[in-house]
Structure 1
Amino acid sequence: MKVACVGGGPAGLYLSILLKLRDPSHEITVHERDPEGSTYGWGVTYWRALLDKLHEHDPESARALDAHSVRWNEGTARVRDLVTRKPGDEGFGIGRHRLLEILADRARALGVRLEFEDEIGPDALPDADLVVAGDGVHSALRGRWAEHFGTEVTAGRNPYVWLGTTRVFDAFTFAFVESDHGWIWCYGYPFDAGRSTVVVECPPATRDGLGLDTMSEADGLAVLEKLFADVLDGHPLMGRSDGAGSTSWLTFRTVTNRTWHHGNLVLLGDAAHTTHYSIGAGTTLALEDAIALADALGAHASLPDALDRYERERKGALLTAQSAARHSAQWYENLTRYIDLPPERMFALLGQRHSPLLPYVPPQLYYRLDRAAGRLDSLRRLKRWLGPRLARAAHARELSTRD
C-alpha cells in the first residue's frame, strides 16, 4: 500500500510507524508543512494506560517515550491563600518537541519518508492508495470537503493561553486567583527537568478587564506573573514570541464530523475531533486513532471496509472522553458554583468535574454522596448506571438543539 500522511504530528507519525511494522513493503510518506524541529506548545500530558498500550504496539518507541518523560502521582490546588494536596493517578509529561523527535526518528529507522516544508493543499492530493488528513484542527483537507464530512465547529466561552515556565512543579498543579475583575486560574505540569507547561484560563470579562486582550506579550506575562506569584515561586512565564507581539489568547474549538472518510481520504486526530484541553487527553486520543486505523487496515483487504471499521470504533470509544471534556469545560465556566467550598471539597469536585451528575446536584450534597458512594457498593453502582445515561441524554439534547 502507498500511504501519504499529511501532517507530521503525533498521530500521523505513529500511524506511519505502525503500518511499517505490520508490513515493511508499505510505501509511506509523511508530509509536514513546517521545518523539522519547529513545533508549537510546550509539554503534553498522558497517563499510564496510554504508555501500557504503546508498549503493546511498539515497545521501542514506548521505551524512548518513557525515558524522556517526567511523572507525578499527586495533585495540588491553591485557592486564594489556601492549599490542599492529594494523591492521584500516575501522570506523565513530555515536551512536544521531544515527543515528535522520538516518533520521527523511529519512523525514519523503519523506512518512512519524512518530507518537511512540504505543504499539501486540498487541490493537489498526493498520488497514494490512502491519504491521511492529520493536519490538525484547522485541517485544509477536511475544509475542502466539509459538507461531505458534516463538519461542525463550536467555540467555547473562556479564553485561554498556553505558556511555559522554569518552575518545575512536583505535582499536577491548579491555582485559582481572585482578581479585581473576577477569577483567573491556571494549571501546570512538568515536562522536562527544567520546565513546566502552564495553561491560563478565565472568563472573557476577566481577561478584558485586566487588559490582557490588548497588552503586548511581555506586559501580559508580567501581569500573569504577578497574579500567580505564589505558585510560580519567583520563576518567569514564557510565551511563544519575542514578547513584542500580543499574547495568543485562544478560544477552544470543538470539532466534530458526521463521517471521517471520503473516498481514499481519512481524517485522523484533531482533524477528525477535538477534546477540551482540560482533561489532558488530546495526544492520547490522537495516538489511539492511529492504533485503531492501523488495526482496521490490517484486518480488512477492502479500504472502504477498513475505514468504516475505524470510524465506527473510534466514534464509540470517544463518547466517554467527549462527555467528560464537555462537562470539564462547563465546570470551569461555572467556577463560582464551587470556588467558595472548603478547599478540600472544592478540590474533590474539581476531580469530579467530568461527571454528568455534578451540574444537577448541589455541590455540598454531591460531595457527601460521592464520599458515601466510595464506601457503599449500591451507591457506586447507581452512579455508574446513571452517568452514561445522563451523558447520552445530554448529547441527544445537544444534537436536537443543533437541528
Structure 2
Amino acid sequence: MCMKIACVGGGPANLYFSILMKRQDPSCDITVHERNPAGSTYGWGVTYWAGLLDKLRENDPESAAAVSENSVRWSDGVAHVRDVRTVHRGDDGFGIGRRRMLDLLAGRAESLGVRLEFERDIAADRIPDADLVVAGDGVNSALRERHARHFGTDVRLGRNRYIWLGTTQVFDTFTFSFQETDHGWIWAYAYGFSGEQSTCVVECSPETWTGLGLDRAGEADGLALLEKLFADILDGHPLIGRDRADGAAQWLNFRTLTNRTWSRGNLVLIGDAAHTTHYSIGAGTTLALEDAISLAGALRDRTELRPALARYERERKAELLRLQSAARLSAQWYENLPRYIHLPPRQMFALLGQRHSPLLPYVPPQLYYRLDRAAGQLEVLRRFKRWLGPRLARTAQTRALASRR
C-alpha cells in the first residue's frame, strides 16, 4: 500500500512505525516531524520486558539487536520499608535510556530512507499534505485536541503527586524505598538504564506533598530533601531533575487518557496521543511500539485506508483492556498504601506484586496473602480467584457509574 505518510512527533511509536512501513514498502514517502532539536528528549530511562524484544526481533531484527545491546537487565526486585530490606525473585526486566532508544530508532529509520525533520512544530490547523497523518505527539497532542469531541477524549487525574528524576546511583535491581515521615509515607521506584545512571520516580499523597513543603520548594531544595529521605538507596549519589529556566520542580498528577475513537479521516492516533497507562506498570514504551506494529500490519494487509485504521483501532483496544485495567489497579494500590504498608515487609512486598489483581481491593490484605499462597498450590483456588475477581470489579464499576447519575 504505497503512500505518502506524515508522522507528527518523533517518539518511539512514530519512529518504529516509519521503520516498519519502509521495510514493507521502500517506495513509501515518509517524513517524521519533531518539534524539538535532534538529541533532546524528556525523561530518563524506560523499562520493558523480554516479550517486547521477541516482537522487535520478529518485525525488524536490526533495531531489536541495537536496542538489546544498549539495554541493561535485572531479574530481582528489592523493597526497603523503613530499615527492612526484602528481596523478591522475578522475571527479567530491561532498562534503556530514552534518548539512546530514540537515537537508535532514528538512525535505523534514516538508513531506510525516512526523512527526519527536527525543530518542526506542526500546528493543528496546518497538518501536512499526506495520504496518512500519524499523530504521535504525546499526551498533549495538538492534532487530537483540535478534534477532541470527535475523538471522545477523556482525561482523568490520579490523586497522588509524582516527579520523574535521574540519579548517578546505578541500580542492578528494580528497587523500591518506602519512607515514613511526620506527614505520611513517600516512596520511590528506581531502576538502572545504563552503566552510569538510573531513573528514580518519587510519589506521595497530596497531603504528604504539602506537609513536607514540596509544593512550595524550588527544585534544588526539593531534591535536597528527597536525597535525605532516600539516603538508604542513593548511597550518597545525587538526584537529578530536569533543567528548567524558572527553577521549578516538575511534580505532576498522572493523567490517564482514553479516546472513544482513534481516527478521523486520514488522521490516526498512536502512542500516548491515543492512550496512557500508569507508569507503575512500566508499559508506556512497550505499548507505543506495539501500536506501531499493529498499525503497520493493518496497512500491509489492506488496500483501503479506512478499514485498515478501523482494524488497527479494534486490535489495539482489545489488547489494551487488560493492561489498562492493571494500570488502574496499580495506581489505586499506591493511592491506598496505608492499607498495606503496616503488614510485615515480606507480605507487603508480595501484595505489591499482586497489585494488578481486581480481587485484592475487596479482600483483607492478610487474608488475601494467605489465599494467594494457597492458590499457588491448589488449582481450585486459582480458578476461584480468576472467577471472582472480574465479577467484583464489574460490580464496583456499576456502583461507581450509578453514583454519578
With normalisation by structure 2, the TM-score equals 0.97
Equivalent position of 2:334 in the other structure: 332
- 2:41 and 2:391 map into 1 onto residues whose CA distance is 40
- 1:136 and 1:314 map into 2 onto residues whose CA distance is 17
Contact 1:46 1:284 in 2 (8 A): yes
Equivalent position of 1:148 in the other structure: 150
- 1:371 and 1:309 map into 2 onto residues whose CA distance is 41
Equivalent position of 2:108 in the other structure: 106
SS of 1:214 mapped into structure 2: coil
Contact 1:164 1:198 in 2 (8 A): yes
Select 2:162's aligned residue among 148, 154, 160. Answer: 160
Gaps of 5+ in 2: none
What is the letter of the counterpart of residue 123 of structure 1?
D
Q: Structure 1's 5 and 399: CA in aligned 2 closer, same or farther, altered over 3 A? A: farther
- 2:393 and 2:260 map into 1 onto residues whose CA distance is 19
**1:138 to partner: Cα distance:** 0.3
What is the letter of the counterpart of residue 107 of structure 1?
A
SS of 2:140 mapped into structure 1: coil
Equivalent position of 1:75 in the other structure: 77
- 2:91 and 2:285 map into 1 onto residues whose CA distance is 17
- 1:163 and 1:278 map into 2 onto residues whose CA distance is 14
- 1:263 and 1:10 map into 2 onto residues whose CA distance is 23
Contact 1:268 1:289 in 2 (8 A): yes
What does 1:249-260 align with in structure 2 at a 5 Å threshold? 249-260=251-262
Gaps of 5+ in 1: none
**1:387 to partner: Cα distance:** 3.4
**1:386 to partner: Cα distance:** 3.2
SS of 1:45 mapped into structure 2: strand
What does 1:1-400 align with in structure 2 at a 5 Å threshold? 1-241=3-243, 245-394=247-396
Moved more, 239-248 or 250-259: 239-248
Q: Structure 1's 243 and 4: CA in aligned 2 closer, same or farther, altered over 3 A? A: closer
Which string of whole-angstrom CA distances, capped at 9 and with x for unpartnered residues, describes residues 289-328 of structure 1? 1100001111111111001101111011000000000000
Q: CA RMSD in A?
A: 1.4
Contact 2:359 2:390 in 1 (8 A): no
Contact 1:12 1:30 in 2 (8 A): yes
SS of 1:34 mapped into structure 2: coil
- 1:254 and 1:150 map into 2 onto residues whose CA distance is 14
Contact 1:217 1:243 in 2 (8 A): no
SS of 1:206 mapped into structure 2: helix
SS of 2:57 mapped into structure 1: helix
With normalisation by structure 1, the TM-score equals 0.98
- 1:173 and 1:300 map into 2 onto residues whose CA distance is 45
What is the letter of the counterpart of residue 281 of structure 1?
A
